[in-house]
Structure formats: C-alpha cells, structure tokens
Amino acid sequence: MTEIFVDAQSTEGTVRQIQEVIGGEIDERWGEYILKVNSKIAFGTIRFITFDWGVSLLEYDIKFFDDVVLRMDASEYNPIHFSYCLEGYCKHRFGYQPESDIQTLAQFQSVIVTCKDGGYNYGYFPKDEKLAINVIQITRKKFLKKRLNNVDELNQRLYRVFLDTDHENVFSFYGSFNLKLATKIGALRKVRTKGMIRIMQIEGLVYEILSMHILQHDKEYKNKMPSTSLLRSELKLVRKMANAIIKNPSKDYSLEMLATKSGLSQAKLQEGFKLLYTRTVTEYIRHIRLEAARDHIRTSDMNISQIVYSIGFSSRSYFSKIFKRKYGISPSEFQNNITVPLEVL
C-alpha cells in the first residue's frame, strides 16, 4: 500500500505533494495544470484549474498499480468537495471514523463531503482500477464573496455547510446515481478549444456541474427525486444506446431494435430515456438528428437535401418543418446566415 500525506494550502499544493510520491511532470497552459505520470506507481493524468472566487477543478484520469491512501490534513485547506466517479470507484472516511465506516464513492454517484477544521480526510484509491474522478472544490469564504452566489436559496442543511466558514462541522452526502452528471462531465472532458476561450468554457461547465450536484442534494433532501425501477446496470445500458445514436444518427433505429441490442425490454428502455434525457426514444433520435443537421449546415459544403438524407430523414419537407419548430428558423434561412470566414492569401 502507498500512503500519500497532504497538508497543502491549495489544490495546486495538493497535486504537487501527490507528484512527490507518484512521480511525473506538470505542464501548464493558461492556468490549466496537467500532471502526466508513467511510473511504477501510476499511469495517467491529474488535471487541476483554480478559478476566481474560491472554485477549483480537480480531475483524475489515472490507474494506480498499488492501493493508495491519500491522508489529507484539513488544518490549512478544507474546501467542500463535490465529487463524481465517471469511471471506477474510490472510498472515503473522516479521520475520527474507524475503518469499518469507510464509504464508497460508486460510479455515477454524486457525493458531497467536507471535514471540520483540524480534522483529516482519507481517500482510498484501488489498485489496477481505471479511475476517472471529477472533483469541484469550494473554498467557502472566497465563494461567499461572489455576488451571484445566493446561498440562502439552498436547502437549510446545505446552506449551513456553506456558511460554516470556520469549518466547525463535518458534512457528507452520498447521493443516488446520476447519469445526467456523467453526460455533463463527459462534455467537460471533451472541450477542444485553446487558450482563454478554453478556460472560460471549462469554467462555465464547472458551474453547471456544481449546480447539478446542489440540485440533486436539494431534491433528495426534499424527497423529490424521480423514482425508477431500473437498476444502475440497466441505466448504463440506456446511456450506451443513447451514445450509439449520437455516434451514428443516420442509422435506421427503432424501439424494437434498440431494445433487442440493449437486452432491455421496450418499456424499460422508454423509462430510461425519459428519466435520463426527458424524451421518449423517438424524440431523442429526432433531437440528435436535428443537432447533427445543424452542425452539418454550419461546417460542411453539403446542400440541405444532402444533409437531410445523410442523417436518416427521408422527407425534406418534414425535416424543414421540425427544424423550424425546434430552432425558430428554416434550414435554408439558417444556412444563408452562416458567416463564411475570409481566406487570407
């Protein structure tokens, strides 16, 4: 077992203390830091970005070759951690708890924890498990200075956590699984722009993810989460089918075909799509095709008829009708308003 002790005063300090044990090199671009490691202890990356007003992003995309325990002293740096495992799992306990009270952060689960001042957090990362973990950290005093942060609108339990700026209490929330968060965090990881625009896009997504964590806590606290009979494994299959549609929207999909491919009943498949995407299977397929059509109009040289048939529609008039209903403009009008960049000779 490898133990890493952290008593840093920032997210950057935390990663640098991890680096001292597992090795690797840190590169920085526009305030985005990436630790790349390929050692006998670990392979992968740890990314961190610190934004204004006490918000930071910490992302693990890594596999450890030994069981790792991260022992974190909360005396100097004690943020609220909003965590989510996109792949794999990890575990956590507070220092005052016995090892028998270790809690698991399962895949697709929203978790919020914070320690009391002077206490310890223990993070447990399993050996040979591919980990993709997203952590948004909030430093309360800085965060509360931001004018737009109306924390008094939170439910009272979470409200007290944000106002506990002296870090006198511990707090933990292990929510139900949430695949909408997986989709949003997946989008965060796929940002491809560069420079200042990249950081701005990432920051916007970080605030969206944070709001989704808070909203889930509020709904569960008030017992307003939608109920479902579907298992976690079944929801993962629904998400797999949805991603397949995104990758190949022109394919001739049907509810029966998707149900057969996923191994789920048609009723479960419909329930899963309504729960995760607030659409029926048919509505979701139509939505993805329209989004693909809009992208093709923006980026390709195809005419409207070519685009219609390339994404799986058989009628241009029907396509034009639903495109205008969704976007408030006809495909032709949209195409005519695309700005063509000038080529510099």
The 10s digit of each residue's pLDDT in 271-306 is 889 888 888 999 999 999 999 999 898 888 888 999
The 10s digit of each residue's pLDDT in 131-174 is 999 999 998 888 877 655 555 566 677 778 887 788 888 888 99
Q: What is the pLDDT of residue 225?
A: 61
Q: What are phi and psi of 217, to 5 degrees?
A: -60, -45
Q: What is the pLDDT of residue 205?
A: 95
In the predicted structure, residue 86 carries a pLDDT above the cut 80: yes
At residue 130 the predicted structure's pLDDT band, cuts being 50, 70 and 90, is: very high
Higher pLDDT, 185 or 301: 185
The 10s digit of each residue's pLDDT in 208-250 is 999 999 888 888 877 766 667 788 788 889 989 998 999 999 9
d(CA 249, CA 308): 11
Q: What is the pLDDT of residue 345?
A: 44
Residue 230 in tokens: 């579907």
Q: What is the pLDDT of residue 282?
A: 93
Q: What is the pLDDT of residue 149?
A: 54
Counting beta carbons within 10 angstroms of the beta carbon of residue 294, is it exposed (0 to 12), middle (13 to 18) or buried (19 or more)?
middle
Can you give 11-73 as a three-state secondary structure string?
HHHHHHHHHHHHCCEEEEECCEEEEEEECCCEEEEEEEEECCCCEEEEEEEEEECCCEEEEEE
d(CA 103, CA 95): 13
